[in-house]
Structure 1
Amino acid sequence: MDNKKAVVVFSGGQDSTTCLFWALEKFDHVEAVTFQYGQRHIAELDCAREICETLGVKQHELDMSLLNQLAPNALTRDDMEITEGDGLPSTFVPGRNLLFLSFAGVLAKQIDAKHVITGVSEADFSGYPDCRDDFIKSMNVTLNLSMDDKFVIHTPLMWLDKSQVWELSDQLDAFEFVKSRTLTCYNGVIDSGCGDCPSCNLRSRGLENYEKKKAGVTAE
């Protein structure tokens, strides 16, 4: 496939920003698509815009607020507690990646891009069913059949835990950028976050593990 244009599903978080740097290294032309679906914190959208502007990446922001009406969840409702335990976490948004990848595919079609990149992972995915490799493979087939085209959905982080995601950002010379300018926190705090929510805990554990690994390698 000669087409070297790509669309990155982009939220401004650690994973999608790492994927954006990955795409910028792999493809000749990269654009980002960010979805507004009633997130608790407008800071997430502001962060995504700022990163794209800094990197010189054209960003498309699409209104997906209907998703909030159909699927109430802790990422969009202040009155819902962020919980983990038996079953799916309260932060799971039913249909989110299904819709995001569908619309990313429509955008890719319009700009003649054949590659779609998303930061989903089975290694650190909180049990979300729409982050699994089999879903992505199925979605790729569905996109191609629905538009009679040949898209490729790339998942650079699919088999990486958070420590390995930090390592990848370092390999892409983006470690400090990702560390200081991304927003992963469920409470809307940029950089190291609130230090208390599940997303911050996952991010900080991964960072700690990677820094220990890096220090060990350096010492040898």
Structure 2
Amino acid sequence: MNDFKQEDALVLFSGGQDSTTCLYWAKKQFRNVQTLCFSYGQRHSQEVENARRIAQMAGVPFRVIDTSVISQLAPNSLTDASIKMDEEKPADSYPNTFVPGRNMLFLTFAAAIAYAQDIRHLVTGVSEADYSGYPDCRDTFIHSLNASLNLAMDKHFLIHTPLMWRNKKEVWRLSDELGVFDLVRNETLTCYNGIIADGCGHCPACKLRNKGLQEYLEVRG
């Protein structure tokens, strides 16, 4: 792995399991780390406040920007509480928790902010190994967008995806290796219904998180 100890990074941060694990991964890889959170009209404001709290615990700068225009672009159950959330992925389409364009817009906003601060490293918690079928979590998308951002801003950004090939069991293992297993387990908010830690237990995010946790605990002992 390249040595980036003399460089800074910007972490796309929601205060959930994945982004919190990425935050602590980044703290070991880079000189200074900042966090960027997005208020995009999600079902619960707790996400932003919990992200702010965890960033404070981690001792890193926190910034939140308003991207609520996303909630006006395409119907989905994460930004429209009137839509009943899919608990399973439909056989012939994406789950209605998919927010079209979200990761592309988040990374574009992050790159613009990083550009202004002469930061070239962006860190995001997307994963192709264990996800809900979202096309904007795929490795090929990240590489494509990385190239587009570099061309658009004439800067050599590097988008880091430390979780890309890790399933949730392996994400739990990584948090343990980083020394933050208990923090991630007890303080993060992954649940789409806004419940910290183990969450509601039945939304897609909770199902993935808790399945991976049980699998990891079985081998952790």
The answer, yes or no, to whether TM exceeds 0.5 is yes
State the match for 2:66 in structure 1: 63
Native 8 Å contact 2:9 2:26 kept in 1: yes
2:90 to 78, 85, 107: 85
Q: Secondary structure at the match of 2:207?
A: helix
Shift of 1:72: 2.2
Match of 1:167, SS state, is helix
CA distance in 1 between counterparts of 2:203 and 2:133 reads 16
Q: Counterpart of 2:80 in structure 1: which amino acid?
A: R
Where do 1:42-53 residues align within 5 Å? 42-53=45-56
Give the structure 2 partner of residue 218 of structure 1.
Answer: none
Secondary structure, counterpart of 2:166 in structure 1: coil
Is 1:162 aligned to residue 168 of structure 2?
yes
2:135 matched residue in structure 1: 129
CA distance in 2, matches of 1:21, 1:71: 33
Secondary structure at the residue paired with 1:72? coil
Task: Point out the more displaced range, 65-74 or 169-178.
Answer: 65-74
- Provide, for residues 135-166 of structure 1, a one-character-per-residue CA deviation record: whole Å limited to 9, x for no partner: 00001101111111111000000000000000
Q: Secondary structure at the match of 1:7?
A: strand
1:188 maps to which residue?
194
Relative to the length of structure 1, the TM-score reads: 0.95
Distance 1:112 1:59 in 2: 17
Report the equivalent of 1:120: 126
The count of residues paired between Structure 1 and Structure 2 equals 215
C-alpha contact (below 8 Å) 2:191/2:199 kept by paired residues:
yes
How much is the aligned-residue C-alpha RMSD, in angstroms? Answer: 1.1
The list of structure 1 runs, each at least 4 consecutive aligned residues, that deviate by more than 4 angstroms after superposition, is none
Counterparts of 1:11 and 1:60, CA distance in 2: 11
Aligned residue number for residue 33 of structure 1: 36
Report the Cα offset of residue 211 of structure 1: 0.7
Structure 2: runs of 5+ lacking an equivalent = none
Name the CA distance, whole Å, in 1 between partners of 2:146 and 2:207.
31
Give % identity: 53
Q: Indicate the SS of the match to 1:44.
A: helix
